[in-house]
Amino acid sequence: MKHILILTILVLFNSVTSPLFALEDNFIEDYLERLENSRKYLILVAETMPEDKYNFNTTPEAMSFAENLMHIGYVIDWHSQSLLGGRESRDWNTDTIFKVANKSKEEMIATINKTFDETIKLIQQFDTTQFDDELDYFGLNRSKRQIFFLLTDHVTHHRAQMLVYLRLNGLYPPRYVLFQ
């Protein structure tokens, strides 16, 4: 009788926890698909702008097209490697990887691709038991699960600015890549 009770408890526990773990596994899988599509579209946008227009901006205080692109890379790196991965944050004031400086269009796109590669690798290995761990996010408590969403929202925000810059230069943005 004791063995039947233990077996029943194990079966019930497994039937409750298995779907929960499956949801977490699906989240990572779905997120990676979305992130990869986001990369594809961002690269298409970056490739569409001619290199001689990479310094275009709408006002002196606004970021240029190139600065938006490199800013996206910096913040992808910060959200993934530092907030999700625990690595010390890069200092925007001294970092050279994500500064436009004298980088060519090709070098900037390569930097973005490398950043996405590193982020995807980290997320593939992410311990989903940490989803509910909270971090200080500009004075707000945010879970690591929320950091995933903040990362993609930030890419979308700055990519949208880049799309406007294309239009202001008489260029047609590339066709939208779904599910991102």
Domain spans, the chain = 24-168
Arithmetic mean of pLDDT, 107-131 = 97
CA angle 62, 165, 100 (to 5 degrees): 55
Tell me the C-alpha distance between 94 and 119, whole Å: 21
The CATH number fitting domain 24-168, selected from 3.40.50.970, 1.20.120.450, 3.30.2390.10, 1.20.140.10: 1.20.120.450
CB distance 124 to 32 below 8 Å: yes
pLDDT recorded at residue 22: 46
Arithmetic mean of pLDDT, 81-95 = 92
Element (H, E) at 141: strand 140-143
Tell me the C-alpha distance between 66 and 159, whole Å: 11
Arithmetic mean of pLDDT, 126-147 = 96
Secondary-structure percent of the chain, ordered helix, strand, coil, rounded to 5: 65, 5, 30
> 15-63 pLDDT, tens per residue?
555 555 544 569 999 999 999 999 999 999 999 999 999 999 999 999 9
pLDDT recorded at residue 157: 97
| Average pLDDT value over all residues in the chain | 90
Question: Percent of the chain beyond pLDDT 70?
Answer: 85
pLDDT recorded at residue 23: 47
pTM, entire model? 0.85
Using the predicted structure, report yes or no on whether residue 86 has a pLDDT greater than 50.
yes
